[in-house]
Amino acid sequence: MALTGKKRKRRLEQLPGTGKKSGWNWIDVQQSEFETAAVTLFVNFPILELPVNLIYDILSRLPLKSICCCRLVCKAFLDLLAQPYFAQLHLAKTSLTTVSLALQKNIFQQGLLCFHLLDIDEVSKGAPCSTACHHDICRARSPSHPCRSLTTQNADFYFSAREAVIVGSCNGLLCLYYALQNAYVILNPILGEYVVSGCLPSSTPAYTYMNHSGFGFCPGTRQYKIVRFMCVTYVVGSLVFTPETEVMVEIHTLGSTSWRKIYNVPCPKIQGSFDPLLNGCFHWITTSCNPSDLICSLDLEKECFKHLPTPRHFSQSYVNKISWITVGILGGCLCLCYVYEDNLFEAWVMKDYGVKESWTKDFSITINFYSGLRLEHLNRPIKFLNNGDLWLVSDNSVVSYSPRAGTFKDFKVLEPWVTEVVVHIPSFISLKHALQGNNLEVKYLGRARPAKISVI
């Protein structure tokens, strides 16, 4: 379903003295005319007699598959839907109604990435499980909770991804890391566009990749950046040492040729963030035992890091009893999710960014209260929705927890061999408009399925 093709730099104008069937012709125009939202198109479609801003608003409200079909109607619609203004308008609306799950599967020596659409309203209206019974137990005992597999209506959104790792998703763009080629790939699976950005060769002293990267957007400069964590490696005889205290960050602005380095960065905790971008900053949980050094942020514009204050009750003794902790975004605020003494799951939000006194508990779950609920069921949160519901991966299912109702909802069953799940907002943002610079070549996925990305 990935639609490819180059944008047409043309406009419709009527030819004098011709009939209705051949009275219109495409003429060449300047590229700048197509960079604005007010593109004047005249064709024999009644809908295009409306003001162009109203047309954009109508099209942006359509389901994703309907928009893809509109791109195939005629050249006029294709030009309308290729505008950056429409892409931004559609992204703002679709993030409230539709999400896509990017699933990474490793089947023997073959890797695949699959994309599945989810309607948020449909998920929210589903029948919840009882608060007295965990979702796995409910599904096993009650016929009213059938196993519902992920929809395959957009099964074309997948491609061969051997040796690839999902880094993250931002503004409808997905970032992948290819370890063998030491390269990053930025992909828009809807348009079938991707670019490849290679990494710098190892320097002296030797640094080793820590299997932790970030991908984000800087609102101030409107640039996309990749954050890459490295640790210094020492070799003594046949032994290799990688002390966590010596961590470096490499930052790359897509479209440039350089990787800038920041030394002495706090070491990130594995799986310490699930939705790390807020206010143009990338956030992560560190491996430090000091509560004041637990949360770290990297300003993508200034390219400097700082520590953020933790909740007031985070004393040294309290932090020592936390089983695991991760950082995300809830309602536009920084959020901490953690398990205390293997029994209590809590979510705290920082209402006023950077202010210690603004930390407020949003909800808590007493794990032992839910029959069959174990600690490992809550260690993979993937997204907070705008209504406050928490999505997490539990065993082989995607589960939604509603703090308002205090109920779990097992709404999707994962396919076999799934190793990673990332929430991805589908968009029509073209890499040609999103990425600045002249050092990126936009490539296109082939029509064959599964499509293959050429990293070299």
The contacts of residue 414 (CB under 8 Å, 6+ apart) are: 103, 150, 393, 396, 397, 398, 421
Query: What was the pLDDT predicted at 49?
Result: 79
- Same domain for 307 and 251? yes
- Same domain for 18 and 125? no
- Domain hosting 424: range is 98-434
- Same domain for 82 and 190? no
Query: Per-10-residue mean pLDDT for the chain, 456 residues long?
Result: 44 48 43 43 65 87 83 83 89 80 75 76 56 40 38 54 83 89 89 85 69 89 91 67 74 88 88 86 91 93 93 93 90 91 89 94 81 61 84 78 82 72 87 79 80 78
- Same domain for 68 and 177? no
DSSP string over 314-354: --HHHHHTEEEEEEEEETTEEEEEEEETTTEEEEEEESSTT
Query: What was the pLDDT predicted at 334?
Result: 94
Alpha helices in 42-99 (DSSP H): 52-60, 64-70, 75-81, 84-94
Distance CA 60, CA 81 (A): 9
Total domains present in the chain: 2
Query: What was the pLDDT predicted at 75?
Result: 82
CA distances to 144, 146, 395, 396, 398 from 135, in Å: 12, 11, 11, 12, 11
Distance CA 127, CA 135 (A): 11
- Same domain for 202 and 137? yes
Angle between helices 52-60 and 84-94 in degrees, nearest 10: 40
Q: Are 417 and 103 in contact (CB under 8 A)?
A: no
Q: Which of 94, 123, 148 is the last residue of a domain?
A: 94
Query: What was the pLDDT predicted at 311?
Result: 95
451 within a domain of the structure (yes/no) = no
Amino acid at 201: P
Q: Which of 50, 76, 94 is the last residue of a domain?
A: 94
- Same domain for 109 and 239? yes
Count of all residues that appear for the chain in the document: 456
- Same domain for 89 and 129? no
Identify which of 328, 270, 260, 267 has the alpha carbon closest to the alpha carbon of residue 293: 267
20 within a domain of the structure (yes/no) = yes
Among positive and negative, which fits the CA dihedral 37, 42, 44, 48?
Answer: positive
We report the CATH number of the domain holding residue 381 as 2.120.10.80
3-state secondary structure of 212: strand
In Å, the largest CA–CA distance within the chain is: 87
- Same domain for 260 and 293? yes
286 within a domain of the structure (yes/no) = yes
- Same domain for 88 and 128? no
- Same domain for 216 and 72? no
Q: What is the dihedral of CA 308, 313, 318, 319, to 10 degrees?
A: -10
- Same domain for 20 and 124? no
Query: What was the pLDDT predicted at 215?
Result: 93
What does residue 85 show for φ and ψ, rounded to 5 degrees?
Answer: -60, -45
336 within a domain of the structure (yes/no) = yes
Q: Are 348 and 358 in contact (CB under 8 A)?
A: no
Query: What was the pLDDT predicted at 130?
Result: 42
455 within a domain of the structure (yes/no) = no
pTM reported for the whole predicted model: 0.78
